[in-house]
Amino acid sequence: MNDSPGWAVPGPSPSDGERPGAPDGRDGGEGAQPQPPAGGPKWSAEQPPPGEWSSPGAPQAPQPPQPPQVPQVPQPGAGTGWGGYGGPQGGQYGHPGGTGQWGKPPAAKPGVIPLRPLDLGEILDGAVATMRSHWRSVLPITLVVATVVQVISVLVQKYTLSDLPVASDPETSLRDVVDALGNTMLVLVANGFIQLIGTIVATAMLTMIFSRAVLGHGSTIGEAWREARPRLPRLLGLTLLLALGGVAVVLVLILPGIALGSIGVGLLGGFAAVPLVIWLGIKFSLASPSLMLEKSGVVTALRRSSKLVQGSWWRIFGITALTGLITAFVSAIIIWPLTALGLVVGLSDAGPNALENGTAATGWAALVLSAIGAIIAQTITMPIQSGVTVLLYVDQRIRREALDLELARAAGLENYGSDPAAPPTGG
């Protein structure tokens, strides 16, 4: 398969000099030889009728009658030339010899994406289209997970963070602050682990839903859970391994600064760790769908991701970063107004000193409104992020391993890929 962006046009495109009816590529333009007299050699039967491909002002020689031409039936989706309209699909652009929009051949689309290498717009559109067409399965999963996680987070912030001693309190000793911070860290780690479990469960189930949506198949919540449940322990191990690996990289690079007692060396190591962690994160970003859909082990999934990303690191990084920016912007415009409203309500209830003593941020109004905003934001953005990852995995396998042929067979399309001129038929 072609590993570069786009989709190769099947077969060579005929040039102007190779069109049926053009003798030796000469069109009667400047430098063309004069036509032979009537008594000279016979014209080839391939010559065009009078009035086509003739020199300006050249005398027209009598020509024998032409054999009847068999009209050519345009293929579905064929273009009408550069910038031409009026094809069978109406308004599609193509080049001479090409089929489909901008020279791409017509690809089967049994589900949310066409079965060919995808561009950025098609990947994002596929993720959103799955949310829209399979919302009965997608949204309940993310809504339940986000609600459970945020309820636990609200309880932790209310009954743990509110117990932290305020530094401005003169009666607070250093030992009290250290003990309170230690207990808070333990609670926050436990809360983070619960959030991690919820995210893994949602990611696993969404991966199954998106994989079936590529084939045009629906999936219920029960079906997604039954397919994802056996893979959850390995997915948890993969996620923890990647997290621990990132932490280990950072520690290794800042340890020299700590050992030497040099802040500059430590900062230099920290700055060097950031691009390295990003590089490793993108390199292994396709390990999760590989583990879930290929039913492989953790190490095998890491190898598969490294192989699929090789040569396309910058492309995958750009799509992943853009998706992160879009989801962050959507989350911000949902969460920030509700959080600000919660702080205003907290100030009105607790008085003007609420910001100084920290009670405004840990009041019920601020916590609940902020949690509602986070639930709405995660319900919307979590499927987009999971969908883009799954579709990137599918796209890379189409480019590298001709996965589109297997997907077409799985979708029940007969004769797909055997004859580029023949459209696939439903099986």
Domain ranges, ordered by start, for the chain? 127-404
SS3 call for 224: helix
Q: How far apart are CA 160 and CA 164, in angstroms?
A: 7
The pLDDT value recorded for residue 4 is: 36
Partner residues linked to 426 by β-bridges: 413
Partner residues linked to 70 by β-bridges: none
> What tokens does 227 get?
């397919």
Partner residues linked to 413 by β-bridges: 426
User: How do the pLDDT tens digits run along the chain, 427 residues long?
Assistant: 444 333 333 333 333 444 444 444 444 444 444 454 444 444 444 444 443 333 344 444 455 555 555 445 444 444 333 333 333 333 333 333 344 444 455 678 899 999 999 999 999 999 999 999 999 999 999 999 999 999 988 888 777 765 555 444 555 566 666 666 776 677 778 778 888 898 999 999 999 999 999 999 988 999 999 999 999 999 999 999 999 999 999 999 999 888 888 888 889 999 999 999 999 999 999 999 999 999 999 999 999 999 999 999 999 999 999 999 999 999 999 999 998 888 887 666 655 565 555 566 677 888 889 899 999 999 999 999 999 999 999 999 999 998 988 898 888 887 776 655 544 444 4
pTM over 0.85: no
The pLDDT value recorded for residue 168 is: 47
The pLDDT value recorded for residue 344 is: 81
SS3 call for 425: strand
Neighbours of 209 (CB within 10 A): 27
The pLDDT value recorded for residue 205 is: 95
Q: How far apart are CA 407 and CA 412, in angstroms?
A: 9
Q: How far apart are CA 12 and CA 244, in angstroms?
A: 51
The pLDDT value recorded for residue 52 is: 38
Neighbours of 147 (CB within 10 A): 17
Q: How far apart are CA 265 and CA 257, in angstroms?
A: 5
The pLDDT value recorded for residue 42 is: 44
Residue with tokens 């990611």: 203
Asked whether 373 and 334 are in contact (CB, 8 A), the reply is yes
